[in-house]
């Protein structure tokens, strides 16, 4: 049997799609091996969100070819979509597959292997690598949603992709060009996948996509320029979650990153009425300064974002609210950064993912005046990282001695010893010492009731004492 090795770069959507590609290749007779081992086929699922991501994608492609010069190297995904010229001249790439053909990887590989082996010239090498363009879809127009059915995620929680593409065109982001226009997966396909996952022991599903908040918006129009409608999308998403929660065995539904504008009162009322929906909401902010938000082409104000947070806190007790923040965006003055810092203190997030702005060729922000020096970005990043360390610690401390339920995920070697690691519905991380877990007969995928007993030194979570019974 031929061996295939996979390497993933980028987001949770990419991770889900990598699981699909591995599943397809194994069904086709290939044996999966670690990327560090020698294989006959290497698949690199690329990322292009920053120039650095592009470079890492190229590095992994070349690393695979160097490990086994006779292997067939397949470059897949976002980098393929956004830099076709370079892909076409890179001798380390044998086959290039775009973002709307990942589920067809095995059949495309078969077709590639059966085509004429005659050496092509540099001018037409891209055509050979994409099977005369067959492996690429026109993402400037809305393509059909590429259905993928994951049957065995290999994890205790399962990401379920429900949507692809983005119509927002933030000035710093290349993703609308790499992923194309919004397109949504039909509920029946999603429910079939969740049913199979549940039968395989999955208790928690995370609904993910490139812009989940746009789910279903394009279904009743032929236009590619579908405007964002939070009321409409919110209603469609609520209906989907209500149907998912009725599948036996599914006890948790978690939403990945949400557009702040979808947090309307009807939407929050709807999710609050579903006990399976986890009170953990990732609302992407990027900046707390309205002037910066306008330059980013974000479609809300800081005040509107705060209104969304307050609405969630009105309906939920201590909801976990997390976010993304970019520091050093072009033109971000000292005053603008201080405004963002004050806003972040006021919101008091559970966690913030802090990113230093990175110039991405092909985006509007790349040519904006007043690019911020790297040293300044570093200082601002350090300030916000310290803030989120403090805010996260204070948030977790609220749950000391509280009765909670962990979904056990994996055994981990931590600074203080070997422990089972898991998360609550609010995504607070908890640890059960290995000997305690062994005595209680615990295993991955179990929901365990107990109490948080104290902070864990050197780890971002709390120690957890299970009750005698297992939920």
Domain spans of the chain, in order of start: 3-129, 141-278, 282-398, 403-466
Q: Which residues of 373-397 are buried (b: 16+ CB within 10 A; e: fewer)?
A: eeeebeebbeebeebbeebbeebbe
Q: Write the DSSP symbol of residue 430.
A: E
pLDDT in tens, 111-170: 999 886 545 444 458 898 999 999 998 887 777 888 888 887 667 889 999 999 999 999
Fold designation for 3-129: Rossmann fold (3.40.50)
Domain 403-466 has CATH 3.30.1450: no
The mean predicted confidence, pLDDT, of the chain is: 94
- What is the predicted pLDDT for the residue at 124? 57
* 437 neighbors 420 (Cβ within 8 angstroms): yes
Q: Write the DSSP symbol of residue 400.
A: B
pLDDT in tens, 295-353: 999 999 999 999 999 999 999 999 999 999 999 999 999 999 999 999 999 999 999 99
Angstrom distance (rounded) from CA 115 to CA 128: 9
CATH C-level class of 282-398: alpha beta
- What is the predicted pLDDT for the residue at 123? 44
Angstrom distance (rounded) from CA 94 to CA 4: 14
Domain 141-278 has CATH 3.40.50.2020: no
pLDDT in tens, 349-407: 999 999 999 999 999 999 999 999 999 999 999 999 999 999 999 999 999 999 999 99
- Do 141-278 and 282-398 have matching folds? yes
């Amino acid at each position: 049997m031929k061996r295939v090795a996979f390497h993933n770069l980028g987001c949770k959507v990419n991770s889900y799609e990598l699981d699909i590609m591995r599943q397809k290749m194994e069904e086709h007779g290939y044996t999966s091996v670690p990327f560090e081992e020698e294989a006959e086929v290497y698949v690199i699922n690329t990322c292009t969100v920053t120039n650095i991501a592009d470079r890492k994608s190229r590095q992994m492609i070349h690393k695979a070819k160097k490990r086994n010069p006779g292997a067939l190297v397949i470059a897949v995904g976002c980098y393929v979509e956004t830099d076709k010229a370079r892909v076409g001249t890179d001798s380390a790439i044998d086959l290039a597959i775009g973002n709307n053909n990942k589920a067809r990887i095995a059949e495309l590989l078969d077709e590639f292997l059966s085509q004429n082996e005659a050496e092509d010239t540099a001018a037409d090498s891209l055509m050979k690598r994409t099977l005369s363009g067959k492996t690429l879809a026109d993402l400037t127009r809305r393509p059909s949603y590429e259905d993928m059915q994951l049957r065995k995620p290999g994890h205790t929680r399962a990401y379920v992709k429900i949507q692809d593409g983005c119509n927002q065109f933030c000035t710093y982001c290349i993703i609308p060009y790499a992923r194309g226009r919004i397109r949504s997966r039909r509920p029946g396909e999603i429910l079939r996948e969740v049913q199979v996952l549940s039968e395989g022991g999955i208790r928690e599903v995370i609904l993910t996509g490139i812009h989940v908040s746009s789910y279903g918006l394009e279904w009743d129009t032929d236009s590619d320029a579908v405007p964002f409608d939070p009321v409409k999308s919110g209603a469609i998403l609520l209906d989907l979650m209500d149907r998912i929660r009725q599948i036996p065995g599914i006890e948790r539904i978690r939403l990945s990153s949400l557009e702040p504008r979808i947090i309307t009162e009807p939407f929050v009322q709807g999710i609050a009425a579903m006990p399976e929906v986890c009170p953990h909401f990732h609302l992407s902010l990027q900046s707390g300064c309205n002037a910066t938000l306008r330059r980013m082409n974000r479609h809300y104000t800081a005040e509107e974002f705060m209104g969304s947070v307050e609405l969630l806190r009105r309906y939920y007790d201590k909801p976990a609210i997390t976010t993304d923040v970019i520091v050093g965006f072009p033109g971000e003055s000292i005053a603008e950064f201080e405004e963002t810092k004050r806003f972040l203190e006021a919101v008091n997030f559970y966690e913030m993912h802090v990113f230093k702005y990175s110039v991405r060729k092909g985006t509007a922000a790349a040519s904006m005046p007043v690019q911020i020096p790297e040293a300044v970005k570093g200082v601002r990043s350090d300030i916000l990282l310290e803030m989120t360390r403090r805010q996260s610690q204070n948030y977790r401390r609220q749950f000391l001695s509280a009765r909670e339920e962990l979904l056990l995920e994996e055994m981990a070697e931590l600074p203080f010893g070997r422990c089972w690691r898991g998360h609550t519905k609010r995504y607070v991380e908890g640890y059960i010492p290995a000997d305690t877990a062994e005595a209680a007969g615990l295993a991955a995928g179990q929901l365990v009731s107990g109490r948080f007993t104290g902070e864990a030194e050197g780890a971002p979570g709390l120690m957890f004492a299970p009750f005698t019974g297992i939920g």
